[in-house]
Amino acid sequence: MTLRTFLLASVASAVALPALADVNVYTTRQPELIQPVIDAFTAETGIAVNLAFVEEGIVERLRAEGERSPADLVMTVDIANLKQIVDAGVTQPVDNAVLEEAIPAELRDPNGLWFALTSRARVVYASQERVAEGEVTTYEDLADPKWQGRICTRSGMHNYNLALLSAVIAHHGEDYARTWAEGVKANLAKKPEGGDRDQVLSIWQGECDISLGNTYYMGQMLKSDEQREAAESVRIEFPVFENGGTHVNVSGIAMTTSAPNKEEALQLMEFLVSPEAQAIYAERNNEYPVRPDAQVSELVASWGPVTPDTIGLTDVAGHRAAALRIMEEVNFDG
């Protein structure tokens, strides 16, 4: 081969190589929670990821943008949010062996329309001083008058509490769930407000004895110089449903119908369920990995084992509208 032929072949080869496209992600999760795993993906593949935080109206935005939407993927917390996005018809199915092998069937849509990435348990934070070990048992027990004036929680209208009430409906039906919500409301020490971490501060300050919260918030507080003392004043209890387990929820991902960078987006999806990414999630965010072979962080393991509830997440999500109606009817936040 002459030098001229070699140079021409090299130029042709270079022209044939496509430039790596960015992946655009709409997310309802705070970007700082997922940035470490995104950075690891970019370092490994060279593919940049643009995160757009969409706190509200993600379905409306995708519908308005239609096929012109720049979004390749949507990431969100709460199974009901995932189901709402799927039901809106703004996602497309993904048939991928890597995802199916990494994620248990109960943590992904049977038609490939959504995939869980992490899970978290809805637990009880209990005062170390005022609540005896073993005193917290079931979710049903939270409506018992023995807790009157001892419970604090964030808004009953928040997705996390709506998901829990949806699970109550799945187990016991709407009539029971309404009575339960009324019972929990009657046991509140104060009007629902703030987030899960604020409830821990309320326990520390003596305003209440127990509260509902997600497991990973405890990890965040223990890493904070300002909040560590409050976090150490409580312990995590894993209540269960009668004849069931602990309520868990997920963060998940779906591919949009537009997905202009489908190939690169699929690479990101595969990476997010890889052992490397699942380890980052577990260590940085104190969440439970979805891969059965992945280990939880040392801190999460120290809280004890969790037995997830047996009611399917899709079933739970199907009761969200009823849960919202019940919270409004009992004026939970009033």
Binding residues: 216-217
CA distance 141 to 36: 39
Please report, to the nearest 10 degrees, the dihedral formed by the alpha carbons of residues 94, 268, 83, 171 taken in order: 100
Q: For residue 138, what are the contacts with CB-CB under 8 A and spacing of at least 6?
A: 239, 240, 241, 242
* 31-45 helix and 275-285 helix, angle to the nearest 10 degrees: 150
In terms of C-beta density within 10 A (0-12 exposed, 13-18 middle, 19 or more buried), how is residue 184 classed? buried
Q: Is 29 exposed, middle or buried (0-12, 13-18, 19+ CB in 10 A)?
A: middle
Instruction: Calculate Rg over the CA atoms of the chain.
Output: 22
Burial of 24 from C-beta contacts in 10 A (0-12 / 13-18 / 19+): buried
**Residue positions in the annotated binding site for Fe cation?**
216-217
The SS3 call for residue 288 is: strand
Taking alpha carbons only, the member of 81, 106, 104 closest to residue 91 is: 81
Strand-pair partners of 26: 52, 74
The secondary structure element, H or E, covering residue 9 is helix 3-16
Q: For residues 197 and 300, what is the distance between their CA atoms, to the nearest angstrom? A: 17
CB 103 within 8 A of CB 186: no
**What dihedral angle (degrees, nearest 10) is formed by the CA atoms of 162, 58, 77, 93?**
110
Q: Which of 319, 292, 325 is nearest to 308 (CA)?
A: 292
